[in-house]
Structure 1
């Protein structure tokens, strides 16, 4: 694995997700243009922002669960089969809870 410890990487990811979610919430709460045509476009943009907010919130929950597993001592173990999650997978997706095999099974 790289030189960044899992806890540090997960904390960085959590902060990124929190920052992203806060920025999106600010955008969603901002004043709307009084022009009707502009409001229609803004509503479409808001739909996209809500989708991005949901992704950020889901990502933050996954990171928090990974931090809990780290604290419990089960980080890096597949929550389905109990086998180790590969280092390359954890490096690419630090909040991974499933090994590649179980993740593939879940997708099918």
Structure 2
């Protein structure tokens, strides 16, 4: 198995985990939309829960998009290239964040 195959496998595993997470979030949303009894003390919580579930769903979709973009870059042969400066992204960074789009220097600049 090549290094590229290992990276692809890692990214595919991440996608599967993200799909599972999104399915659980979707199920939770369906359950929170079930009507509560009028005298239920939990009626104050649903709005908060909906906001949290919405945030988690959006975050998961964003991460899924990032992983899909990394897979596309891998297939195009640009996986290790920074999208801002074109330089090589350090292997250590990609091991920690396999869908990193920027090298450390450009990531730090974008945070400023």
Q: TM-score, normalised by structure 1?
A: 0.91
Aligned residue for 1:33? 36
Q: Does 1:91 align with 2:95?
A: yes
The structure 1 segments of at least 4 consecutive aligned residues displaced by more than 4 Å after TM superposition are none
Aligned residue for 2:25? 24
Q: Deviations over 1:16-75 (max 9, x none)?
A: 111111110111011232235422212211111111111100000000000000010100
**What is the CA RMSD across the aligned residues, in angstroms?**
1.6
Q: TM-score, normalised by structure 2?
A: 0.88
Aligned residue for 1:62? 66
Which structure is higher in RCO with an 8 Å CA cutoff and minimum separation 6?
Answer: 1
Gaps of 5+ in 1: none
Aligned residue for 1:14? 15
Aligned residue for 1:106? 110
Q: Is the 8 A contact 1:83 1:99 kept in 2?
A: yes
Q: 1:74 aligns with which of 70, 74, 78?
A: 78
